[in-house]
Amino acid sequence: MMDALLVRLGLPRMAEAQLAELGVAAMIAGAALIVGWTLKVRLGPRLADWLHGRELHSRGPLTERAPAILGWLVALLIAGIGWSVWAWTPYPALLLGLVLAFSAAATARNLVLGVGLGRVPALMLAAVLFVALLSHVVGGLATLQDRLDAIGFSAGRMHVSLLSLINIALTALVLFLLVRIANRVVRRVVRGGPDLDPTQQLLVEKIASVVIVIAAFFVGIDLLGIDLTAFAVFSGALGLAVGFGLQKTFGNLIAGIILLMDRSIKPGDVIVVADAVGRVNKIGVRAVSVITRDGKEHLIPNELLMTERVENWSYSSREVRIKMAVGVSYDSDLRLAQRLMLDAADEAPRVLKKPAPVCWITGFGDRAVNHELRLWISDPEGGLGNIQGDVFLRIWDKFKAAGIEIPFPQRDVHVRSLPEKTPATAKPKRASRKPG
């Protein structure tokens, strides 16, 4: 069975293969990999230090990739020399060709990453080199396609082969890379435009990413030659089932787009949801990421922000007013106490000068004159408790220096008189008995 498969691939039978020649080719391939790895470990760090000393470190990660480039380049040279010095039979040539193609692809990938061109160009160049060299080894690209197409089976009018699976994988990979490149291009173009605010930029990016993914899907279907009419019988039922199953997902997607369109919630806003104050980190396809002051990140579905009550402290303005209750003793100078409280608020760095802080008497309590200090801040994402603590501490210091008392709960007990002992409570005398 193995011999028949090899014949279909255009290769000789295993019994006809020259095992001695195959062993020599295996030794050359192993020597290429071992020598390359040894030079990478031994001489690679020295090469990196030399490049650093030659002031080439400014080119990014080139010095970090230098050992890998050296190792794969040496393996490429040894495999290339071994493949070219002899007219190898198919099996040894294929073995050396695989090592040659893989070494060339790895060398190109590390080199492109070293000069800082990115992973996508590095991967594409490596794939092109691998396929080109391997097809050259086996006798051309057409020969390689014929041999890969020979491995497979037929089911009715459908032929499934190794070539078709490779085509699907390569098409998916290329489309994935193109989608990522297109998204990056759209992101740079949108963020480079001065006419759009961050919310509009995010909305355009989300819509563009959805359109790009849908377009890539249909392009892939067309490139692979998949006939969608075969699915027309059950496409309606399948679409209905998917619609019910992904109802929440699509609802959150539409809700997120609506939130970005009406700008009711934007990245960077400070909102209150279920008594939790947090800053909107990002608006995703399914949920909104909200980071609270304690560092916890909450993922709130977009639909909840559309239907539930949400306080947005920075919807129309980022200015937030803070109210602070302060009690002053009845024996203190109230006007001086109010002036000191306003001075303490003005000295706090986060408190706005305009609107200016104000201080009012809110009532005469049982033990203190109740005041309310009102001040404004423009950075609610920085927290409320810390600014209140800062202002309270400044008020404490100023009250201490001015001799103003801050009353605290206490109770005075006055004893007017003590009750006298009654005859009932007096201790009865014991009767004495006379001897008789």
pLDDT category at 343 given cuts 50, 70, 90 is very high
| Percentage, residues of the chain above pLDDT 70 | 69
- Bridge partners, residue 325, by sequence: 372
Comparing 42-56, 141-155, 421-435, which segment has the lowest mean pLDDT?
Answer: 421-435
Rounded to whole angstroms, the Cα distance separating 291 from 278 reads: 5
- Using the predicted structure, report yes or no on whether residue 410 has a pLDDT greater than 70: no
- Rounded to whole angstroms, the Cα distance separating 141 from 197 reads 51
194 prior amide bond cis, ω within 30:
no
How much is the pTM? Answer: 0.43
pLDDT at 181 over 50: yes
Q: What is the mean pLDDT of residues 115-135?
A: 72
Nearest 5°: CA angle at 144, between 139 and 147?
115
Alpha helical stretches, state H, 115-161 = 119-138, 141-149
Q: 229 pLDDT band (50/70/90 cuts)?
A: low
Q: What is the model's pLDDT at position 430?
A: 56
How many CB atoms lie under 10 A from the CB of residue 277?
18
Mean pLDDT (the chain) is 75
Position 237 pLDDT exceeds 70? no
Does the structure show a pLDDT above 90 at 392?
A: yes
319 compared with 240, residue with greater pLDDT: 319
Instruction: Kindly tell me if the per-residue pLDDT of 328 is higher than 80.
Output: yes
Using alpha carbons, list the distances in angstroms from residue 36 to 62, 73, 103, 202. Answer: 18, 7, 10, 47
Under CATH, which number does the domain 250-312 receive? 2.30.30.60
The mean pLDDT of 70-94, rounded to a whole number, is 80
Per cent of the chain over pLDDT 90 is 11
Confidence label for 92 from pLDDT (cuts 50, 70 and 90): confident
**Residue 239 neighbours by CB under 8 Å, 6+ apart:** none
The SS3 of residue 407 is: coil
* Chain segment 132-178, per-residue pLDDT in tens: 777 666 665 555 566 666 666 666 666 666 667 767 776 776 777 67
Angle at 427 between CA 423 and CA 430, to 5 degrees: 120
CB burial class (10 A; 0-12, 13-18, 19+) of residue 66? buried
> Which residues, 6 or more positions from 363, have their beta carbon under 8 angstroms from its beta carbon?
370
Q: Name the CATH code of domain 320-402 (choices 3.30.450.20, 3.30.70.100, 3.90.226.10, 3.90.660.20).
A: 3.30.70.100
**pLDDT at residue 55, as a whole number:** 44
User: What was the pLDDT predicted at 155?
Assistant: 64
Residue 18 has pLDDT above 60, yes or no: yes
pLDDT of 365 reads 87
What residue segments make up the domains of the chain, in order of their start?
A: 2-150, 250-312, 320-402
Give the C-alpha distances (Å, rounded to integers) separating 141 from 106, 124, 153, 161, 261: 21, 18, 22, 17, 51
Q: What is the rounded average pLDDT of the residues 46-70?
A: 66
pLDDT band for position 227 (cuts 50, 70, 90): low
Q: Which range among 58-67, 146-155, 316-325 has the greatest average pLDDT? A: 316-325
pLDDT at residue 433 is higher than 70: no
The answer, yes or no, to whether residue 192 has pLDDT greater than 90, is no
Q: How confident is the model at residue 337, as a pLDDT?
A: 92
Q: How many helices (H) does the chain have, and how many strands (E)?
A: 14, 10
Mean pLDDT of 234-249: 61
Confidence of residue 1 (pLDDT cuts 50, 70, 90): very low
pLDDT of the residue at 428: 56
**Beta carbons of 172 and 185 less than 8 angstroms apart:** no
Spatial separation of the C-alpha atoms in residues 47 and 66, rounded to whole Å = 7
- Which residues lie closer than 8 Å to 376 by C-beta, 6 or more apart? 319, 320, 321, 322, 351, 352, 355, 357
